[in-house]
């Protein structure tokens, strides 16, 4: 008889502000964009009050953390730092006032925006462009915030990949980059449990690269920091299934379940309720979380 496969190791503990998340509480990061042109239309909020209302819905649906962005990741009209800050800071202030226990992330690669966001109440800086502004991680350390270390293969902000190659393999490039970035953050004084590592699917990568990084989640977990997966409705899901962005939920949840089983800890999502339920089920299957109730065959 073949012995059962071992459950992969649980990912690292996540600690942000005064909250700690163990394996029994996978972290759901809700996406709220104060942009008119984000690739997924339902996540666009034209005013600060609309964005704050979206945050309230996300919290009700089970989000632990909300990621507020003021500029589209891909190509689009120029948005300077002042305009980006004007979009995100009022939302951060509203959320901190209305939801004092909810964790807040700001999605920016600009150190000046990050500093203003931290002073307004953000807990985490989500640097999706891999230290393009090297001062950003210094701001996180200065203000006592967490930081996301990402990988873009050297791509500049708001650029799209074209015939990207990793001669030594995408996994080796990603793990080496993330290990170095995380080490710098820790050396600056940031708690290792507040340093999230993100392989950054689609950024500087083709679909084959992104699929490989989901399969090899365990190698990312082995870096010893919480792994963040930003998989939601991305192009690698759409290309895998030949589906437009508004039909990519099931594919996203499948990738989410695989990455969670393999130890990823934080999931950035447009679909909070579905992601919360998927992650809780995976945690229960892994044995990290007890069933909410278990009466079948017992009563």
| Active site positions, annotated | 234, 268
Helix axes 249-261, 272-286, angle to 10 degrees: 30
Tokens of 127: 């640097």
- CB distance 185 to 146 below 8 Å: no
Angle among Cα 173, 176, 180 to the nearest 5 degrees reads 140
* Cα gap 204→141, rounded to integer Å: 27
CA 223 to chain centre: 17
Range 153-177 burial, b when 16+ CB lie within 10 A, else e: bebebeeeeeeeeeeeebbebbbeb
């Amino acid at each position: 008889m073949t012995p059962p496969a071992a459950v992969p190791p649980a990912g690292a503990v996540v600690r942000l502000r005064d909250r700690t998340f163990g394996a029994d509480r996978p972290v759901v990061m809700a996406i709220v964009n104060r942009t008119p042109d984000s690739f997924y239309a339902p996540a666009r909020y034209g005013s600060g009050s609309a964005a704050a209302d979206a945050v309230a819905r996300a919290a009700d649906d089970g989000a632990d953390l909300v990621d507020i962005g003021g500029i589209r990741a891909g190509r689009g009209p120029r948005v300077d730092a002042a305009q980006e800050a004007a979009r995100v800071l009022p939302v951060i202030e509203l959320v901190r006032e209305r939801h004092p226990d909810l964790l807040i992330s700001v999605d920016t690669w600009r150190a000046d925006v990050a500093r203003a966001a931290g002073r307004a109440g953000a807990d985490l800086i989500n640097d999706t462009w891999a230290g393009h502004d090297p001062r950003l991680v210094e701001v996180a350390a200065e203000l006592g915030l967490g930081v996301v270390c990402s990988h873009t293969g050297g791509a500049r902000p708001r650029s799209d990949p074209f015939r990207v190659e990793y001669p030594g393999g995408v996994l080796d490039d990603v793990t080496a980059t993330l290990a170095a970035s995380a080490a710098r953050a820790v050396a600056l004084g940031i708690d290792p449990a507040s340093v999230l590592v993100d392989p950054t699917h689609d950024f500087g990568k083709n679909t084959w690269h992104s699929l490989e990084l989901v399969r090899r989640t365990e190698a990312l977990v082995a870096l010893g920091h919480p792994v963040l997966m930003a998989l939601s409705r991305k192009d690698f899901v759409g290309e895998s299934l030949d589906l437009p962005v508004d039909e990519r939920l099931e594919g996203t949840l499948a990738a989410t379940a695989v990455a969670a089983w393999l130890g990823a800890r934080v999931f950035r999502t447009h679909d909070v309720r579905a992601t919360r339920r998927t992650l809780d089920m995976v945690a229960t299957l892994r044995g990290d979380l007890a069933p909410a109730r278990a009466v079948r065959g017992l009563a």
